Amino acid sequence: MRRMMAAPLVIAVFSLMPAVRAATLTDQNKPEVHADILEHFKYGSIGAEERAGIPLWIWAVLPDLFPQHLPQRPGSGWERFGLVMEPGKARPIGTSRRERQIPMLGLNCAVCHTGTLRETPGGPRRVILGMPAHQFDLQSYERFIFACLSDPSFTADRVLPAIERINPDFGFLEKTIYRFVVLSRTREQGARLAASFRWMDDRPDWGRGRVDTFNPYKVLFGFNMAADHSIGTADLPPLFNQKVRDGLYLHWDGNNDLVTERNKSAAIGAGASETSLDLESMKRIEDWIWELKPPPFPPDRIDKRKAAAGKPIYDRHCADCHAIGGKHTGEVIPLAEVETDAERVISFTAELTARMNRLGAGQPWAFSHFRKTDGYAAMPLDGVWLRAPYLHNGSVPTLRALLSRLEGRPAVFWRGYDVYDFTNVGFVSSGPEAEREGFRFNTSARGNGRAGHFYGTALRPDEKDALIEYLKTL
């Protein structure tokens, strides 16, 4: 009886609304914008709410309503996924709000490019903008959303009171719309998205600080994922010093040499569409990261004598491929030479390349620079200390391990623990705390191979020490 009475009630509510209110509900499209560029990077919208957004107030109550679906990790609520909560903020860094018919929650650039670091287990957590979000588990976050929206207890009688508790302005009109329209549509959209991402279940988990960048594009383009078993999982990259990367081949496999095109493809990957992409917001962020400098390695932790001895070693063994302006910096090194795990290269197919180059057709920013490659790009090493774990798939935890042959690199370690190992240059990746907070990374799984990039592994121990010390200064 209650549901039978609801339909005429909803009709009556809308018929009594003033025209201006109706227009607001149907036509509003107001992004979250901040005058301060740091705040805008952290919380501003890039247009991702349209295709991959979720109603803000539903999103806000999910951790409290469905704790059984949260990962068993330290922290509360969204912190369990490695999202960063600032004091006094209601949402984590990397989330944005857009006022549509109802407020929508989306992700932005900062969710994948804000990292945390502690010097000691009990020490304060430092938040570094532009750093890879090595602690963030995007796949677990997505699976949590899907699990909540498909839970039988995702009902109006549970969700609406929870929203009222955190939003005193959640009034009769909003409750009515949520009860009879928004919840059912959100549930349906969640089911569609979960079905379209079932391909993830047949591949190794991404773990913290990694993402399969381009297989989601195949879903967007309607590729048959049942016939595609490729693994494109790779480490999240930093955003520092984009100016010096202008014209270099970007993404791990060097499939594009235009910074702005790379940025827009990342925004579309985060949920924006060709029509919702917020170009003004993207331009502000692009201008900011153009000359964004990585924070330096703590100077009191650098042995200056050793670092000076390490510079000529770097110049002889590393600079051609990794110095800014180096002879091969920004070029793609063929798989046959670099010998690293091939899965990421294989996953970006010629068919996908052609489809990527049709994105934005008719727009001034239409894509045209994507290409298929046969290896991985050699990138500048500025801020290399903040990029751990290393290699394109994040399969080597420290620089010291990277300078070892295969047998010297751990076969299993834990990713996402943010206490720093200043001696070996990387994050602590073993021990009880790393195991409690981190993701168990098995390098024997497909796409996770730790082989390759054996440059410098034949150096003497003292030469490796000196080289590592110098790399701290970059």
Give the pLDDT confidence of 244-296 residue by residue, as tens digits.
999 999 999 999 999 999 999 999 999 999 999 999 999 999 999 999 999 99
Alpha helices in 301-369, H assignment, sequence order:
304-317, 319-322, 335-338, 343-347, 350-356
Chain length of the chain: 474
Residue linked to tokens 């409750």: 175
Nearest by Cα to 204 from 417, 393, 398: 393
Residue 178 carries which DSSP code? Answer: I
Q: Give the separation between CA 81 and CA 98, rounded to whole angstroms.
A: 23
Last residue of a domain, one of 186, 220, 254: 220
pLDDT band at 100 (very low <50, low <70, confident <90, very high): confident
What is the pLDDT averaged over residues 137-160? 98
How far is the C-alpha of 303 from the C-alpha of 213, rounded, in Å? 38
- Paired residues of 250 in beta bridges: 256
> Which of 194, 220, 246 is the last residue in one of the domains?
220
What is the number of other CB atoms lying within 10 angstroms of the CB of residue 363?
A: 13
In this predicted structure, the answer to whether residue 46 has a pLDDT above a threshold of 80 is: yes
268 occurs within a structural domain? no
Q: What is the pLDDT of residue 338?
A: 98
pLDDT for the residue numbered 29: 87
Clarify whether residues 454 and 310 are in a common domain.
yes
Is residue 59 included in any domain, yes or no?
Answer: yes
Q: Are residues 87 and 205 in the same domain?
A: yes
The residue segments making up the domain with residue 397 are 297-331+378-471
Based on the domain organization, do 177 and 323 belong to the same domain?
no
- Give me the residue label for tokens 């588990």: 137
Cβ 81 vs Cβ 95: under 8 Å: no
What average pLDDT does the segment 315-324 reach?
Answer: 98
pTM of the model: 0.93
DSSP 397-462: -BHHHHTS-GGGS-SEEEE---BEETTTTEE--SSHHHHHHSEEEETTSTT-------TTTTS-HH
Q: Mind listing the pLDDT tens digit for each residue in 368-414?
A: 999 999 999 999 999 999 999 999 999 999 999 999 999 999 999 99
Q: Please work out, in degrees rounded to the nearest 5, the angle formed at the alpha carbon of residue 122 by the alpha carbons of 120 and 123.
A: 60
One domain, residues 188 and 327: no
Does 321 lie in the same domain as 201? no
Give the whole-angstrom CA distance, residue 435 versus residue 466: 30
Residue 267 falls inside a structural domain: no
- Residues 170 and 311 grouped into a single domain: no
Is 80 exceeded by the pLDDT of residue 331? yes
pLDDT value of residue 19: 33
Helix axes 461-471, 304-317, angle to 10 degrees: 100
Q: Which of 220, 242, 277 is the last residue of a domain?
A: 220
Residue type for position 82:
G
**Over 60: is that where the pLDDT of 24 sits?**
no
* 445 within a domain of the structure (yes/no): yes
440 and 314 belong to one structural domain = yes
3-state class of 193 per DSSP?
Answer: helix
Q: Are residues 409 and 312 both part of a single domain?
A: yes
Same domain, 317 and 420: yes
Please tell me whether residues 172 and 72 are part of one structural domain.
yes
Residue 101: band (very low, low, confident or very high) from pLDDT cuts 50, 70, 90: confident
101 phi/psi in degrees, rounded to 5: -55, -35
How confident is residue 27, by pLDDT bands cut at 50, 70 and 90?
low
pLDDT of residue 21: 35
Quote the pLDDT of residue 15: 31
Q: How far apart are CA 235 and CA 107, in angstroms?
A: 18
> Which of 37, 93, 24 minimizes the C-alpha distance to 280?
37
Contact 282, 267 (CB under 8 A): yes
- Which two three-digit tokens encode residue 49? 């709410």
Is residue 49 one of the residues assigned to a domain? yes
Which tens digits make up the pLDDT trace of 110-145?
999 999 999 999 999 999 999 999 999 999 999 999
The CA-atom distances, in angstroms, between 72 and each of 67, 68, 458 are 10, 9, 41
For residue 359, being part of any structural domain is answered with no
Tell whether 247 is covered by a domain. no
Query: How many other CB atoms are there within 10 angstroms of residue 80's CB atom?
Result: 19
The pLDDT > 90 percentage for the chain reads 93
- What is the per-residue DSSP string for 69-134? GS-SSSSSGGGGGTPPPPTT-SS-TTEEEEESSSEEEEE-GGGTSEEEEBSSTTSPPEEEETS--T
Q: Which two tokens stand for residue 425?
A: 């240059």
Q: For residue 203, is it within any domain? A: yes
CA 407 to chain centre: 30
Residue carrying the six token digits 């070693």: 313
The arithmetic mean of pLDDT across residues 24-47, rounded, is 88
- What is the number of domains present in the chain? 2
What does pLDDT average to over the chain?
Answer: 94
Residue 231 has pLDDT above 50, yes or no: yes
Residues 12 and 124 in one domain: yes
What's residue 419's pLDDT? 99
Reported as a single tens digit per residue, the pLDDT across 10-22 is 333 333 233 323 3
